[in-house]
């Protein structure tokens, strides 16, 4: 969340408010825009398709939907070749959880504390932050220890956190589970990278318990982490189901679930459809996004500029005691603010002060984390080195003035 700002226009890494003031957008990239605000290729694809035909995906066929489905599947490893389109990340995760339950015949799902997966009934269940949960029945979900290298009880020891998953299966279920869902890097939770070795260890535990592995790539997908196209690839695992949204359409409302033909078969017993999920206009946008990522070399840019930006943020740590941790990959970065580095006491109001002052100087960064004390830096992937310098200089100046 960034302080109130009424935006009227966007152009690549910049947005403009109602008074014509320009801001460098180092946050909105995650919310929707992977390629850059109103990237001309994506706009053109949307406008052309809107002029040609807009309709539901349910009643008639359209080649855009198939073309985009095939292009997405081509980016996935292994047997992940069947694509279902939805309108959002929440819907994608709801569908993934239902498929896991139907496929395994089990109900229990395991998710990680501090994760965010959506705000409908099942997804709110697997989400594990109280301020994203309403008081409705949320059954069959177990939240395991967060393998958080900074605040977690076992530090960087991924295998120890994975033992908690086995404990939960042993003591909280019949020994079999429907599945496990996780983000490769927790986004809303404050850009938390999972401790090394955690996901591969959990993968084999879940497989032994008969469950499927769901990778929520809503934030970490589409090249954002720089080193890989999908966040899970950095952990050396191939999930059974992958869920996508946000940057997939560069602002067009679309989500997707990608899975194997074998798991996909569970949807044949009833008619699954979404009236507008993957409609021709959004599918055209999605296809244009994949082309732009390739053409503008956005994954490479996320890697090069993201690494540079992270280095510069790390060097700010030497100067400002308030920075407790700098983390993330590519253009999915977080700066955790603390009152005391040893005790890791989260700051209370300073984060909003910093956000506001940076905004006044023309740079937008986000806020997140369980304590709300993490600055989230998730720009459009076209962010360049000068933008990175400007952001860090503004942050440096703002922190110096506190």
Question: Which CB atom, from 45 or from 181, has the smaller least distance to ligand PMP?
Answer: 181
Q: What residues between 175 and 204 interact with ligand PMP by CB under 6 A?
A: 183, 187-188
**Among the listed residues 116, 180, 213, 232, the single contact to ligand PMP using CB under 6 A:** 116
Binding letters toward ligand PMP, positions 214-253, x by CB under 6 A: --x-xx-------------------------x--------
Q: What residues between 290 and 319 interact with ligand PMP by CB under 6 A?
A: none
Q: Which two tokens stand for residue 248?
A: 């997939």
Give the integer Cα–Cα distance in Å for 119 and 223.
Answer: 25
User: Largest alpha-carbon pair distance within the chain?
Assistant: 63
Start-to-end C-alpha separation, the chain: 21
Question: According to the binding rule CB under 6 A, does residue 114 interact with ligand PMP?
Answer: no
Nearest residue to ligand PMP, by Cβ distance, number only: 89
- Give Cα 137 distance to the centre of its chain: 26
Q: How far is the CB of 48 from ligand PMP (least distance, A)?
A: 25
What is the full DSSP assignment across 320-368? Answer: -TTEEEEEEETTEEEEEEEEETTTTEEPSSHHHHHHHHHHHTTEE-EEE
CA distances from 395 to 172, 175, 319 (A): 45, 49, 12
Question: According to the binding rule CB under 6 A, does residue 90 interact with ligand PMP?
Answer: yes
Question: Which CB atom, from 173 or from 380, has the smaller least distance to ligand PMP?
Answer: 380
Q: How far is the CB of 165 from ligand PMP (least distance, A)?
A: 19
Q: How far is the CB of 117 from ligand PMP (least distance, A)?
A: 5
Any idea how long the chain is? Answer: 402
**Among the listed residues 34, 88, 146, 274, the single contact to ligand PMP using CB under 6 A:** 88
Question: Which CB atom, from 259 or from 398, has the smaller least distance to ligand PMP?
Answer: 259
Residue whose entry in the numeric block shows the structure tokens 């032994």? 208
Give the integer Cα–Cα distance in Å for 192 and 196.
Answer: 12
Question: According to the binding rule CB under 6 A, does residue 376 interact with ligand PMP?
Answer: no
SS3 213: strand
DSSP, res 48 = H
Question: According to the binding rule CB under 6 A, does residue 117 interact with ligand PMP?
Answer: yes
Binding site for ligand PMP (CB under 6 A): 88-90, 93, 116-118, 183, 187-188, 216, 218-219, 245
């Amino acid at each position: 969340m960034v302080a109130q700002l009424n935006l009227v226009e966007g152009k690549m890494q910049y947005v403009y408010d109602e008074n014509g003031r320009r801001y460098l957008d180092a946050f909105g990239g995650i919310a929707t825009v992977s390629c850059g605000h109103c990237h001309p290729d994506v706009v053109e694809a949307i406008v052309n398709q809107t002029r040609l035909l807009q309709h539901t995906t349910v009643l008639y066929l359209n080649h855009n939907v198939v073309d985009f489905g095939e292009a997405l599947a081509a980016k996935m490893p292994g047997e992940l070749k069947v694509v279902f389109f939805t309108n959002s990340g929440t819907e994608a995760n709801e569908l993934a959880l239902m498929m896991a339950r139907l496929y395994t015949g089990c109900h229990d799902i395991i998710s990680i504390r501090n994760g965010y997966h959506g705000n409908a009934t099942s997804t709110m269940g697997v989400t594990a932050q109280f301020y994203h949960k309403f008081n409705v029945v949320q059954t069959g979900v177990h939240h395991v220890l967060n393998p958080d290298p900074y605040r977690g009880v076992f530090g960087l020891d991924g295998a120890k956190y994975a033992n908690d998953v086995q404990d939960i299966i042993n003591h909280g279920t019949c020994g079999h589970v429907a599945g496990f869902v996780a983000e490769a890097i927790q986004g809303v939770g404050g850009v938390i990278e999972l401790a090394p070795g955690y996901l591969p260890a959990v993968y084999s535990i879940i497989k032994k318990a008969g469950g499927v592995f769901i990778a929520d790539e809503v934030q970490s997908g589409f090249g954002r982490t720089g080193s890989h196209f999908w966040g899970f690839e950095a952990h050396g695992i191939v999930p059974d189901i992958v869920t996508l949204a946000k940057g997939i359409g560069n602002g067009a409302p679309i989500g997707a679930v990608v899975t194997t033909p074998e798991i996909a078969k569970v949807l044949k017993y009833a008619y699954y459809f979404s009236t507008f999920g993957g409609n021709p206009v959004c599918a055209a946008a999605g296809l244009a996004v994949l082309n732009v990522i390739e053409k503008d070399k956005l994954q490479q840019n996320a890697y090069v500029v993201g690494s540079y930006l992270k280095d510069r943020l790390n060097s700010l740590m030497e100067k400002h005691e308030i920075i407790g941790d700098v983390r993330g990959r590519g253009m999915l970065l977080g700066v955790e603010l603390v009152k005391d580095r040893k005790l890791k006491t989260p700051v209370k109001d300073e984060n909003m002060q910093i956000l506001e002052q940076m905004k006044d100087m023309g740079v937008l960064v986000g806020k997140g984390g369980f304590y709300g004390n993490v600055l989230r830096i998730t720009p459009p992937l076209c962010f360049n080195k000068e933008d990175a310098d400007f952001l860090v200089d503004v942050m440096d100046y703002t922190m110096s003035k506190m």
